Structure 1
Amino acid sequence: MSLSTDGRVTPVTALAVAVLAGSMSAILVRWSAAPSSVAAFYRVLFTTVLVAPIAVHFHREEFGRLSRRDLAFAALAGIALAVHFASWFESLNYTSVAASVTLVQTQPVFVAIGAGFLLGERITRRTVGGIAVAIGGAAIMSFGDAGQAPLADATALGNALAMVGAITLAGYVLAGRSIRQRVSLFPYVTVVYAACSLTLFALVGAQGHEYVAYPPVEWLLFVTMAVVPGILGHTLINWTLEHVESVVVSVAWLGEPIGSTVLALALLAEVPDAVTLTGGAVVLVGIYVTSRGRDAGT
């Protein structure tokens, strides 16, 4: 694993920053009073606005070399990412931060399943074991956090929405995995974020929400979502994949549920119950085993 690329920033440092920034995402969503789809739309739109100039300036020629197939799969990845954001943001209205963030991080489990069935990759015994453990932990979590969520009687709905977010995030990863082997980071994320923004724009309209009638504090939160979990989290994690083994990134990203839970305790006074914490720990173990099983190939 390389620890330095230019003497100024190391991939390990970047990975730590990305995990910490990603841990803020759920907190920012909770602080926002805007509809979930609106918050998701502006997070992605402002992220697109920030990365597109860099992509055009430094990779202008690469855009012209993108094949129709790559564009189609990048657009598909963007649509999947839009559904991920919409469902996950909405889940935070119904379940606790600890449950929502942990369940949405089960995406490596669904990536492993999808890679096996759609890409013909061999699913190892360790991977199967990890998947089983993660699913068991998710089942345990379904019984937790009664009375802790914003709408406690709908906790099961929130957990289900978080799982939808995990499945669609896995779809985003699978759709874009082969493209990233041929296309640089910024051109790729620009196309993906643009498709994601258009999808969320349509969803906001379909739901009948206002596009611009929000107070200044909401616009500040939208921009912060784009900069912190968007650029410093999501985009930076994509950069680290070029310099750090994927299994290291996958395991390190398990720190996000822990970070989000601690931040929710400190900033939202949200204390997860013992059942949720137990189930969450089991889920994280399952994700870890799944990631290691895919990496080991045994």
Structure 2
Amino acid sequence: MQSSPRRRPLDPLTTGAVALAVAAVSSAAPLIAFAAAPALAIAFWRNVIATGLVGPWALLRRRAEFRRLLTVDRREGWLCVLAGVALAAHFATWMPSAQLTTVATATALVATQPVWQGLIARWQGRRLPGTVWVGIGIAVLGAVLASGSDFAVSGRAFAGDLLAIAGAIFAAVYTALGERARVTVSTATYTTICYAVCGLVLLLGCLVGRVPLGGFDTETWLVIAALVVGAQLLGHSMFNYALRRVSATTISVLILLEAPGAALIGWAWLGQLPQPLALPGLGVLLLGTAVVVLGGARAGRRVAPPPVPAEAGPPPV
């Protein structure tokens, strides 16, 4: 069994990068809830703008790789495309959920991505340790408790809960596809294809659903810019930077801080708090998700083959 790579001690810069990343992704749901625009339009613009920022650099530096994906390695190219479709489905479900239910509930439910990642791995034939199954059971119980309290109060909030869970499932599919594509595809090329395909799918969704893509006030455009700079680019970039010194498992657990962080921002800025009956359920849900992540990490250290799904890295937000 190979020993895990030795990581250098944390330095103030890495600690600051992680704290900044958590704050950046925690701001996503409150910003979406605040914006005076359809969630689907916001999702479209944040991906199109992000593609415009990373795409030209990738096309300039990775032209040979793009040609290879179009001619020789078409399978990997299709994996990137399918990942972009799954990412669009994630945004199309989770982002509206933040406008239908509370920020805290939407963020906590979408944070269950590692749970669905584990179930996808089991469907692919990987064995999951008992600890992971225990964590999945705890997380499902928490989701039932949290969503049940919303169902008793508001059908709108319950619909938001279901969309947030769907967003977590699509995020898991996106990560599973990306895990396979990233074996041979660089980060810049993969990101460019994913964001471009995601933006195109969301554009089609907006056209079919007659969702307006313009006419927003200045405040809404500033929100979209903040989402691009914060959750879309800065948050994930800082997490990826920290991976040089911090394990993927630790990053996955730290991402769970997005839920209380978003809840705090939603309370201070928007005056939102989840239903009192939902709070215990949200706590149980996050506990179960943490058990899945940590249990999967232990299995990954014992077994040399493919890493446990929870190690796949930061989910999209």
Structure 2 counterparts to residues 228-239 of structure 1, below 5 A = 228-238=230-240
1:109 maps onto 2:115 in alignment: yes
Q: Aligned match of 1:246 in 235, 245, 248?
A: 248
Q: Which residue of 2 aligns with 1:289?
A: 291
Displacement of 1:238 = 4.7
% identical equivalent positions: 34
User: In the alignment, residue 106 of structure 1 is paired with which amino acid?
Assistant: T
Distance 2:150 2:178 in 1: 35
Q: Which residue of 2 aligns with 1:82?
A: 88
Distance change (3 Å), C-alpha of 1:284 and 1:93 = same
Distance change (3 Å), C-alpha of 1:265 and 1:224 = same
Displacement of 1:3 = 4.8
| 1:55-88 C-alpha deviation (Å, 9 max, x unpaired) | 2344333333332111111111111111111111
User: In the alignment, residue 34 of structure 1 is paired with which amino acid?
Assistant: A
CA contact (8 A) 1:98 1:276 kept: no
Distance 1:30 1:47 in 2: 20
1:15 maps onto 2:21 in alignment: no
Displacement of 1:200 = 0.4
Q: Which residue of 2 aligns with 1:274?
A: 276
Q: Aligned match of 2:156 in 154, 160, 163?
A: 154
Root-mean-square deviation over aligned CA pairs:
2.2
User: In the alignment, residue 46 of structure 1 is paired with which amino acid?
Assistant: I
Distance 1:250 1:180 in 2: 18
CA contact (8 A) 2:7 2:244 kept: no
Displacement of 1:48 = 1.2
Distance 1:197 1:47 in 2: 9
Q: Which residue of 1 aligns with 2:79?
A: 73
How many residue pairs were aligned?
A: 292
User: In the alignment, residue 29 of structure 2 is paired with which amino acid?
Assistant: A
CA contact (8 A) 1:92 1:100 kept: yes
Distance 1:65 1:85 in 2: 29
Displacement of 1:100 = 0.5
Q: Aligned match of 2:62 in 55, 59, 62?
A: 59
Distance 1:185 1:242 in 2: 15
CA contact (8 A) 1:141 1:276 kept: yes
| 1:14-33 C-alpha deviation (Å, 9 max, x unpaired) | 33322210000011101111
CA contact (8 A) 1:63 1:187 kept: yes
Q: Which residue of 2 aligns with 1:24?
A: 27
Q: Secondary structure at the match of 2:62?
A: helix
Distance 1:161 1:196 in 2: 18
| 1:239-295 C-alpha deviation (Å, 9 max, x unpaired) | 545654221111011010010001011101112233222111111111111011111
| 1:194-233 C-alpha deviation (Å, 9 max, x unpaired) | 1100010100101112222222222222121111111012
Distance 2:267 2:203 in 1: 33
CA contact (8 A) 1:38 1:211 kept: yes
1:45 maps onto 2:57 in alignment: no
Displacement of 1:141 = 0.2
Displacement of 1:2 = 3.6
Distance 1:49 1:139 in 2: 40
User: In the alignment, residue 91 of structure 2 is paired with which amino acid?
Assistant: F
Q: Which residue of 2 aligns with 1:168?
A: 170
CA contact (8 A) 1:23 1:259 kept: yes
Distance 2:52 2:210 in 1: 24
Distance change (3 Å), C-alpha of 1:244 and 1:183 = farther
Displacement of 1:47 = 1.2
User: In the alignment, residue 136 of structure 1 is paired with which amino acid?
Assistant: L
